[in-house]
């Protein structure tokens, strides 16, 4: 999609569709007023006759004579005086949802003038560009019938004045959207195609496309030599070999310590010998969404080229119950030297992550954030609106929570108190890989914390936010917006 900013009058823009927000009550936004005057009171008549109420997220497309617009799309803005980030998203998604399969080739959006609570115009521009990318996403790779190309080729955002910070915001929003959509493509791809080697190929391709990214892939032999035994214990039952994917972006000074992202990349999670029940097991193809968010963020970083250093690491394996699979009760030595009693092979995410978290010590990181669809318990605790956040550093936790608030890609902090650690005590090894039913998300993070003592670290449990189930089943691209906001906040 092509994007532009419009600072001329609405009528002087060559768009064939004008998109205006109509509130349920109170004063209309300036653009809606202008459009109404231009069309001799048509918009107010539509409202007055009871055909459009302005209810949040409702839409109405008015066909016109082409002078100056072939159509006006009215979008309900609800109660204009208190628009939250989530409501703004709903308005934008509704507008694009109506537009994407209509006949318009070039739409002029006036939604950046809406008064979103505590957000400035640059934020609104970035958010709209991102929301457009999100709405226009489709995943048709595996449909036999070819999907027809869309008419819509350009989106112009009407803004108050030409300004370099708005141009930058437009670019940022687009790139974050691209990163989200890449993460969704990877997440939606089924486990028979999306394997550790296939993810590695995507990381290699990213380095080919962008000179500023370097990718290195470690195979099982190289991981064995490093002592990454718990990671390898997960792929032991699968015919698909594991991969450790390391992507480096160097946009800062050589001495600037990198921000490291570590993603869980289980390309399919059957549970292993501790086999999962059959119902909805297909959704375990999404168990690499942490990895997908790392790849998505790396792509967005490569597009935007901020002055920071970022390392993206993906620990990827398939968790299958083959004859060489790890047994419950097996004791394995991690790369850190600590031994783990694997009581449940379905708690495999922490097993691949712990070795990756030890591996990243070599980068002398400024911060490390791991992203993982780690526990079903996180869905019970927080549902589908917030990611679980746990950290060994309150400043890092605060920075990530704020990034979530700013982008509407929210997280919520859970405690990482010492009192929970004893749930991981093992009779036979240094640690066991499960902590029982109470506080499953916290004890999973406690397990990881045993491997992150030497640096500033946070863990995002994205089991509830990375994908939707039911009719809208699919990957969401979260938490790419949170990660990008966090990373860019270090770019000055
Ligand atoms: N990938 C799952 C977590 C998960 C489950 C995410 C359901 C989304 C929906 C993870 O590998 C897992 O199986 N975790 C277990 C841990 C338990 C055995 C301690 C879980 O949550 O049941
Ligand atoms: Mn599992
Ligand atoms: Zn898993």
Query: Which amino acid residue places its CA nearest to atom 13 of ligand 1?
Result: 346
362 CA distance to ligand 2 middle (Å): 28
Of 105, 150, 257, 276, the catalytic one is 276
Residue 168 placed within a domain: no
Q: Which pTM value belongs to this model?
A: 0.98
63 and 19 both lie in a single domain = yes
90 and 182 both lie in a single domain = no
386 and 265 both lie in a single domain = yes
Q: Is the CB of 349 under 6 A from ligand 1?
A: yes
234 and 154 both lie in a single domain = no
Q: Is 130 a catalytic residue?
A: no
Q: Is the CB of 171 under 6 A from ligand 1?
A: no
Q: Of 109, 130, 158, which marks where a domain is finished?
A: 158
Q: Is the CB of 440 under 6 A from ligand 1?
A: yes
- Order of strands, sheet of 213-218, starting from the edge strand that comes earlier in the sequence: 213-218, 243-250, 309-319, 259-269, 367-372, 457-461, 387-391, 411-413
With beta carbons less than 8 A apart as the criterion, state whether 58 and 75 touch. yes
101 and 213 both lie in a single domain = no
207 and 75 both lie in a single domain = no
Residue 165 placed within a domain: no
Write out the chain's pLDDT in tens, 492 residues.
999 999 999 999 999 999 999 999 999 999 999 999 999 999 999 999 999 999 999 999 999 999 999 999 999 999 988 899 999 999 999 999 999 989 999 999 999 999 999 999 999 999 999 999 999 999 999 999 999 999 999 999 999 998 999 999 999 999 999 999 999 999 999 999 999 999 999 999 999 999 999 999 999 999 999 999 999 999 999 999 999 999 999 999 999 999 999 999 999 999 999 999 999 999 999 999 999 999 999 999 999 999 999 999 999 999 999 999 999 999 999 999 999 999 999 999 999 999 999 999 999 999 999 999 999 999 999 999 999 999 999 999 999 999 999 999 999 999 999 999 999 999 999 999 999 999 999 999 999 999 999 999 999 999 999 999 999 999 999 999 999 999 999 997
Looking at the CA of residue 346, tell me the nearest atom of ligand 1. 13
Query: Which amino acid residue places its CA nearest to atom 3 of ligand 1?
Result: 375
Q: Is 276 a catalytic residue?
A: yes
Residue 170 placed within a domain: no
CATH classification at residue 126 = 3.40.220.10
137 and 102 both lie in a single domain = yes
Distance between CA 224 and CA 195 in Å, rounded? 19
Q: Of 125, 158, 191, which marks where a domain is finished?
A: 158
Tell me which of 269, 284, 375 to substitute to probe ligand 1's pocket, judged by most ligand atoms within 8 Å of the beta carbon. 375
Nearest to 132 by CA among 109, 158, 105: 109
Query: Which amino acid residue places its CA nearest to atom 9 of ligand 1?
Result: 376
157 CA distance to ligand 1 middle (Å): 42
Q: Is the CB of 344 under 6 A from ligand 1?
A: yes
487 CA distance to ligand 1 middle (Å): 28
Looking at the CA of residue 287, tell me the nearest atom of ligand 1. 1
115 CA distance to ligand 3 middle (Å): 41
Distance between CA 458 and CA 120 in Å, rounded? 29
Residue 238 placed within a domain: yes
Could you tell me the residue range of the domain that residue 14 belongs to? 2-158
265 and 401 both lie in a single domain = yes
Task: Work out how many domains the chain is built from and give that number.
Answer: 2
Residue 140 placed within a domain: yes
Distance between CA 218 and CA 245 in Å, rounded? 6
266 CA distance to ligand 3 middle (Å): 6
Q: Is the CB of 175 under 6 A from ligand 1?
A: no
Q: Of 158, 185, 213, which marks where a domain is finished?
A: 158
Looking at the CA of residue 348, tell me the nearest atom of ligand 1. 11
118 and 221 both lie in a single domain = no
349: which 2 tokens?
Answer: 């995410």
Residue 33 placed within a domain: yes
Q: Is the CB of 434 under 6 A from ligand 1?
A: yes
Looking at the CA of residue 284, tell me the nearest atom of ligand 1. 1
CATH classification at residue 336 = 3.40.630.10
Residue 171 placed within a domain: no
Of 119, 130, 243, 350, the catalytic one is 350
Q: Is the CB of 373 under 6 A from ligand 1?
A: yes
26 and 70 both lie in a single domain = yes
Q: How many CA atoms lie within 13 A of 179 on its CB side?
A: 29
Residue 405 placed within a domain: yes
* pLDDT of the residue at 236: 98
Around ion ligand 3, residues with a beta carbon closer than 5 Å are 266, 269, 287, 349
* pLDDT of the residue at 364: 98
50 and 184 both lie in a single domain = no
388 and 292 both lie in a single domain = yes
Distance between CA 448 and CA 4 in Å, rounded? 45
């Amino acid at each position: 999609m092509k994007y532009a900013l419009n600072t001329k009058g609405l009528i002087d823009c060559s768009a064939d569709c004008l998109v205006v927000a109509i509130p349920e009550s109170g004063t209309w936004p300036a653009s809606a007023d202008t459009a109404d005057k231009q069309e001799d009171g048509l918009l107010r008549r539509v409202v007055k006759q009871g055909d459009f109420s302005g209810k949040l997220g409702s839409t109405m497309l008015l066909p016109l004579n082409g002078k100056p617009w072939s159509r006006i799309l009215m979008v309900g803005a609800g109660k204009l005086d208190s628009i939250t980030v989530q409501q703004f998203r709903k308005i934008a998604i509704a507008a694009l949802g109506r537009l994407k399969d209509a006949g318009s080739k070039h739409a002029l959006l006036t939604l950046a003038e809406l008064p979103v609570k505590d957000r400035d115009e640059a934020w609104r521009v970035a958010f709209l560009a991102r929301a457009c990318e999100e709405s226009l996403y489709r995943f048709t790779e595996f449909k036999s019938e070819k999907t027809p190309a869309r008419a819509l080729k350009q989106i112009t955002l009407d803004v108050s004045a030409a300004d370099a910070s708005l141009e930058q915001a437009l670019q940022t929003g687009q790139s974050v959207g691209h990163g989200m959509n890449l993460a969704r493509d990877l997440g939606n791809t089924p486990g028979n195609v999306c394997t550790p080697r296939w993810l590695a190929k995507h990381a290699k391709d990213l380095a080919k496309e962008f000179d500023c990214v370097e990718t290195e892939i470690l195979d099982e032999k190289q991981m064995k030599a490093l002592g990454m035994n718990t990671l390898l214990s997960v792929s032991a039952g699968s015919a698909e070999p594991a991969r450790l994917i390391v992507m480096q972006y160097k946009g800062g000074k050589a001495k600037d310590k990198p921000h490291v992202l570590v993603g869980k990349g289980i390309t399919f999670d059957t549970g292993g010998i501790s086999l999962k029940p059959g119902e909805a097991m297909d959704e375990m193809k999404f168990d690499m969404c942490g990895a997908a968010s790392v790849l998505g963020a790396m792509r967005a970083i490569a597009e935007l080229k901020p002055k920071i250093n970022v390392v993206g690491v993906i620990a990827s394996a398939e968790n299958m119950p083959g004859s060489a699979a790890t047994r419950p009760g097996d004791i394995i030595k991690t790369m850190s030297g600590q031994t783990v009693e694997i009581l449940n092979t379905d708690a495999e995410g922490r097993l691949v992550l712990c070795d990756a978290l030890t591996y990243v010590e070599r980068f002398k990181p400024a911060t490390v954030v791991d992203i993982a669809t780690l526990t079903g318990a996180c869905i019970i605790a927080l549902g589908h609106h917030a990611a679980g956040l746990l950290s060994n550093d309150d400043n890092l936790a605060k920075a990530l929570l704020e990034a979530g608030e700013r982008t509407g890609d929210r997280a919520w902090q859970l405690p990482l108190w010492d009192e929970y650690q004893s749930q991981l005590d093992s009779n036979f090894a240094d640690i066991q890989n499960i902590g029982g039913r109470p506080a499953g998300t916290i004890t999973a993070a406690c397990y990881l914390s045993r491997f992150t003592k030497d640096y500033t670290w946070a863990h995002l449990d994205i089991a509830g936010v990375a994908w939707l189930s039911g009719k809208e089943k699919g990957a969401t691209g979260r938490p790419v917006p949170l990660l990008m906001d966090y990373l860019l906040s270090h770019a000055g």
